Each structure stands twice: as structure tokens, then as C-alpha cells.
Amino acid sequence: MLASEIATLWAPKRPEPSYPALPAVGADGQTSVPGLYVAGALAGASLIKLGLNAGVAVADAIAEDLERGHRSTGPRAQAKQPHDPLDLVVVGAGAAGLAAARQAQVLGLSTVVLEAGAWGQTVRNMFRGKVLFAEPAAVDNRSAFWFQECTREELLARWEEQLSDFDLDLREHTTVSNIRSVSGHFVLETSAGDLSARRVLLAMGRAGNPRTADVPGALTHSDKVLHHLSDPADHCDQDILVYGAGDAGVEVALRLSNTNRVTLVTLDTALLYPNGRNREALLAAAETGKLELHLGTELTAIEASHASFRTSDQRTHRVENDVVFEMIGAEPPLAFLDRVGIKLEHAWDGRRYLALAALFACVYSLYALKKFPEQPYCWPFHLFIDRSAFAGGTRILFDWAFMPFAPLFDNQALSQIRKTLWFQQGYLYSLTYTLVMALFGWLAFKRWRSRARDPRYQKWRYLSLIVFQVGFFLIANVVAVKGLSVEHAWRAWGLYQPWPLFFHTFHWFSHVDRQAVIYGFVGAGLLGTFVAIPVAAHRHGKRFCTWVCGCGGLAETLGDRFRHLSAKGTRSRAWEFQGFVVLSAATLATIVSVGAFGTRADNAWAATYSYLVDFWLVAVIPIALYPFFGGKVWCRYWCPLAAYNGLLARWYGKLEIRSNDKCISCTQCSRECQVGVDVMAFAKDQQSFDNRNSSCIQCGICIDVCPMDVLSFGQRDEHGSPPRRRLPLARTHHQGR
């Protein structure tokens, strides 16, 4: 087991259901190519209503973009010339594309819609009679296209009527092979000739072309190979093989098993892709003999009246066959996006590496100057910066920044403060930190107030983070200085960030210190670490990280816009053990420093920990990584307090996030999780998750981004059994008629 876990640390990243490749887009839907936008499923909106609304929003943004361009280049021409580029070309005539085209038409933009197949192709590919639910129920349809709970047929009929009324320039069966930027506009190379446009919207979905098994006989007998089930009534008393066990494949197999002889073959050995309902139904059908199920199995050949597949034990089976449903997903249009120049969310190139290096240098410089002239922290600035000049410049900035609080101190106290360089550096840093948290906290507050299904939780969470940070900035930098002196004021931060996050809680005490200071801060440190955090962990899990902590607070405020970039997948989760390593190191260094060195932290144990953890792992590395790997790198991988809190919550915590049976596998919850929990894996299996089976910090964002209201907080029953783990099924195949 240990060898397997170690191998996971270095294993190559593999595709996982929760993490589709998506283009990097801004809040307005614009991609890395200026003027080229994305909406709908290609941007992550997988529901019809959300696609309709996304189309309207992007059309509005494009109209504003074009208007800004006209204002900057002069008055807009009253009449377009015949050879002028169109204002907008929409590629894809699904929900998002049609809604965008109609909105652009209403806004007066010259618009053409190109569709490789027929409009509404995704809906057309659904089962006959399939019911389409108008989710999310709490979200209004902002588009001109009708949409309520209905069948596939009713939706297509309604939209056909509306398309006739709207008179959109819709060109079906027209493929786009490339998009080039030429002299301020785009040229689209299509199967019907080139087309020019000022702006382009890609609304073609992320499915692309159906993925094929590419086995012998697939092309020769292509007439019997299907990629979707249009009408189950078309198939009766047939030998059918379904290849693939995602939700679509499982639903096809189950739907046809009542009137046909169905065999489902899949490479999946653990049925990771279908949701819990479909998995249970599939296994039940296999157990009762309604269909045959072969896990860990590969399709090998398609013949006129037979099909062959190889099972996990390397035996080849040849079965009678009338129809093969290849349901192994679809190829996302990654090659097309790359050809056009659109970058993906997690893609790295030379410019991204340069940006990381530049930001790393800036963050390092900030923290090195904060510690100047202390070595080794301040390298290489101590080599060329004069200490007295640095102190003089810092004092000027400090005098200006400390001005609101100066009247609270007498001249002697102010003189002492102005002579203490480390306090001035710490004050300027904590003031900057607090202002950044307040500013970006307000922006995050506004963002989630408008986006969350029920914004109350996020409102209180961000308010709590900001209040704690501002409050302790004042306590540590004003109240403690006035009440205790500069010498001990820094200890107040330990009241806010318990040991081992605030590493020096139990350091630097002397026999000449007042007993009240020693017992007060040591007692408060013990109370925070060994009473407050354990008590909070019982009912609140790791909420300290997202409601109180300043380190977590910066990640939740400044890092909020980058949360979707956090490291995802099995390999990234395997590295989370590092927090327990740092916790062990903090414990050892503290015991040695307090026991063997009389609380002095200038020994090799404490100094090494302070330099590696407090300087590099707390500050420089994680903050530099915010725009590249999300804000929670420190909290997730290295924070010893998060590891300690998580350990307590794992032992006896009650807070959990529950899942109902409405998950549609849209991936939004897993995408937005800043600590890399595969929320969708739990949600689609209707499983609860907490700190026994995840690194969840209970920020609640997954609950708020779910369009189906699947997730909710709950308190686990004291005597309840632990959450089910997602164990792989046996690699053997199930058989039976």
C-alpha cells in the first residue's frame, strides 16, 4: 500500500471526470485572444438555462466591447458597406449560441450563426421523450428563447417557431476549420468560404466529435455503429453492445435492456464515471441478468454480425451483434482551440513561466525587505543597500502611515517606536496586508453576493475574515504597543493565529519579563491551541481556515479569483501529507527551543524552521503561486495548524457536506474547490464528505456554485458510520442474462 501511495506522488496526470479541459476566459467570456469569446458548455455552463443566460451575458459584453472600440476610433458608421466585416459571428447553434445571436440582433449587431450540424444538435441527440428540467429553479431565463420544463420534442418545436419569427442568419452544416486575426478583425475559414467579423463567439460546446474506438471493422461496418440513442423504440430484439460506462452509456444500456440483449463493455475498472444512481441500477441489472457487464474490458473488433472484446484476464470474447453504441465520450475541440491560439486554464507556456518568475521576484523582494537587515532573509539586498538609508526611508513611510494613531502615544513612547526598525517594518507590512485583504475581500464579497445561490453564508464569512484581520491589526500594532510596549506587542498576533501557525508563541521569554506577560501569553497560547481549536473542530471542522485565519483570509480574498486554478486530481491530493511533516517539525523545534534553550529561538532548530517555513513556505512561495495554482497552496500543503485542525476534525468532527440525488456531473463544484477536493465524485455518488475523507475547509463555495442545489452543510450523527470511501470494484467481469 505504501509503495502504491508513493508511486502516486510521481504518477503522470491522467484524465479524471471532474476536471475537463476548459479555455481560460475572463469574467466577460473573453479568451486569451482579444475579441474572441466563449460561452455555454465550452466555458463550463452545462445546463440549458445557464447556457441561454451565458449567451445573453456574452452578447451584452461584446456589444459594450464594440461600442468602446467605436468610441476610441471615431463615430460609428450609420450604414455598413457590403464588404465590411460582420459585427459578430457565432460558432455553434446550441442554447448559448442561439441566445447570444438573438441578443446581438436586438442590440443592432450584424450577426451570423454557423453550425456544423443542425441547430440544437445536443438536444436532438437526446432520447425521444426525454424530459428537460428547467434548472436551476431559482434562476430566471434572461434570453428571448422559451424554456420551461418540457420534453425534447416540445423544446425543439418551440425553438423552431421562434427561429422562424426571429429570422436569424443561421447557416447549418457549415464547419469552421480556422480563425485568423487580420488587420483588426477575424477571418473565419469555413466549409462555405471565408467570413470576416469584428468579434467571434465560440458556443460550440466542449464535446466536439464523438470519440471512436478505432478498432478493425469500425469503418467497414460504420452503419451499425451509433454514438447516441434517438428513439429506444427503434431497437427491439437485437443483440446490442454498448462500449463505455459514463452516464450516457449506462443510460443507453439500461434503456435498451428491457427489449434487447445488451452487453456493456468498459475500460473502467471501478465505474468511476457514472453517478451513483446509474451505477447502482447498472449493477442491479447485471446481477439480475438483464444485461451483461464487463469491467476492465476493451472492444477489439466489429464485424457484420459479431463484435469482439478482450476482458481483464486477456481472454477474447466474440458475441453476436446487431448494433454497437460507442459511448466513450467525445473529443474536445482542443486542436481547434490551439490552432486559433486560445489558451487553456492550466496550460503553461514561456510567457506564463516568465510571469511566475517575475511575480516570485517581487514577492521575495517584499519579504526580504520586510526582514532587512536580518540574514539570511534579506539576501542579496544587504549587499548594496545602506542600513542607515534604509532605516531613514522606512521611518518616513512609517511616520506617514502611523499618523492616525500617533496622538495616542506620548513623546517618549513615540521616540521608542521610531527607533525600532523591526516594528516599523512589521507595521507597514501588516497595514498593507490588512488593506489588501479589505479591498479584495470586498470584491470577493460582491462577487459571491451576486453569484451564490444563497449568499448569506459567504457574506458572513468574508465579513468575519475582514473584521478579524482589521481588529488584530489594531490590537497588535496599537493596543498592545500602548498597553505592553513595543518589545512585547508582536505577541498579540499569537492570539489571532494559534501555535504552530504563529511559531514563536512560546519563545523569547525571560526571567526579567513581568509574570503577567509570561503567564498571560503562554496561557493564551495553550488555550488557543489545545482548547479553542479542538472545541471548534468538533462542530466546525476546519472553518477556522476560512472564517478567522489571516493566512487563509488572504487566500480567500486576494486569491479568490484564482481558486479554479488550484491543483486538481489524484496526484495533487497525494501530496497533502506535507502538512503533517511540517506539524511534526514545528512540534520538535518548539520542544527543543523551549526545553533545551530556555525559550530562545536563535538555535539551529528554530532558526531553520523559521527560515524554511515562516519565510519561504508561509510567505514567498504560496503568495507568488496565487495566480497560477490558486490561493490555498500554503493552507493545503504546508500549514501545520491546518494539519492539526484537520487531524482533530478527522477524529471527532461532526460538520459534513451532504449530497442529494440531483447531481448532473457539471464539474463546477470540483472546479471551484480551492483545496482540490473532488466534490463531484462525492456528489454524483450521493455521499457526504468531511475531514475524514477530504481536506475540506468548509468554505461553502461548492454549495453555492452548484446549479442543482445538490450540496448542503449538515452535522453528522454522533453514532453515524464514517462516510463510505470510493473503493474500486473488482476487476472481474459480471455476466448473466
**Of 443, 479, 441, which is closest to residue 463 (Cα–Cα)?**
441
Is residue 465 within 8 A of residue 437, CB to CB? The reply is yes
Query: What pLDDT is stored for residue 735 in this prediction?
Result: 35
DSSP assignment string, 576-637: GGHHHHHHHHHHHHHHHHHHHSTT---SHHHHHHIIIIIIIIIIIHHHHHHHHH-S-HIIII
CA distance 60 to 51: 14
The set of cell numbers assigned to 636 is 493545503
Distances (CA, A) of 540 to 21, 546, 691: 34, 11, 11
Q: How many residues does the chain have?
A: 737
Beta bridge partners of 292: 263
- Name the pLDDT band for 719 (thresholds 50, 70, 90): very low
- Name the pLDDT band for 255 (thresholds 50, 70, 90): very high
Mean pLDDT for 74-92 is 73
Is residue 665 within 8 A of residue 17, CB to CB? The reply is yes
SS3 per residue for 383-406: HCCCHHHHHHHHHHHHHHHCCCCH
The set of cell numbers assigned to 30 is 473573453
pLDDT per residue over 525-545, tens digit each? 999 999 999 999 999 999 999
> Hey, CA dihedral for 301, 306, 310, 312, is it positive or negative?
positive
Task: Name the average pLDDT for the chain.
Answer: 91
**Of 718, 678, 727, which is closest to residue 18 (Cα–Cα)?**
678
Is residue 607 within 8 A of residue 541, CB to CB? The reply is no
CA distance 266 to 311: 9
**Pairing mode, if any, of strands 323-326 and 239-243?**
parallel
- CA–chain centroid gap for 636, Å, is 14
Query: What pLDDT is stored for residue 332 in this prediction?
Result: 78
pLDDT reading at 725 higher than 70: no
Amino acid letter at 545?
C
Mean pLDDT for 589-593 is 97
Residue with cell 456493456: 264
- Name the pLDDT band for 718 (thresholds 50, 70, 90): low
Give 568's contacts (C-beta < 8 A, 6+ positions apart): 16, 18, 19, 670, 671, 676, 678
pLDDT reading at 425 higher than 80: yes
CA angle 383, 385, 386 (to 5 degrees): 115
- Name the pLDDT band for 2 (thresholds 50, 70, 90): low
Is residue 563 within 8 A of residue 671, CB to CB? The reply is no
b/e per residue 692-714 (b: at least 16 CB within 10 A): bbbbbbbbbbbbbbbbbebbeee
pLDDT reading at 730 higher than 50: no
- Name the pLDDT band for 726 (thresholds 50, 70, 90): very low
- Name the pLDDT band for 310 (thresholds 50, 70, 90): very high
Write down all domains in the chain, each with its CATH number in brackets.
Answer: 22-75+83-207 (3.50.50.60), 210-331 (3.50.50.60), 386-492 (no CATH), 656-715 (3.30.70.20)
CA distance 344 to 352: 12
The set of cell numbers assigned to 645 is 485542525
Query: What pLDDT is stored for residue 128 in this prediction?
Result: 85
Distances (CA, A) of 647 to 503, 579, 616, 693: 19, 10, 24, 11
Query: What pLDDT is stored for residue 329 in this prediction?
Result: 82
pLDDT per residue over 657-710, tens digit each? 999 989 988 899 999 999 999 999 999 999 999 999 999 999 999 999 999 999
pLDDT per residue over 495-524, tens digit each? 999 999 999 999 999 888 889 999 999 999
Query: What pLDDT is stored for residue 249 in this prediction?
Result: 94
More confident residue, 612 or 276: 612
pLDDT reading at 374 higher than 90: yes
Distances (CA, A) of 442 to 239, 460, 566: 61, 12, 22
pLDDT per residue over 337-346, tens digit each? 999 999 999 8
Which alpha helices (H) appear in 257-349, and where do they start and end? 276-287, 334-340
Mean pLDDT for 440-462 is 93
Give 262's contacts (C-beta < 8 A, 6+ positions apart): 240, 241, 242, 253, 256, 290, 291, 292
Is residue 646 within 8 A of residue 578, CB to CB? The reply is no
Q: What is the pTM of this model?
A: 0.88
- Name the pLDDT band for 732 (thresholds 50, 70, 90): very low
- Name the pLDDT band for 126 (thresholds 50, 70, 90): confident
| Cα Rg, the chain, nearest whole Å | 30
pLDDT reading at 737 higher than 80: no
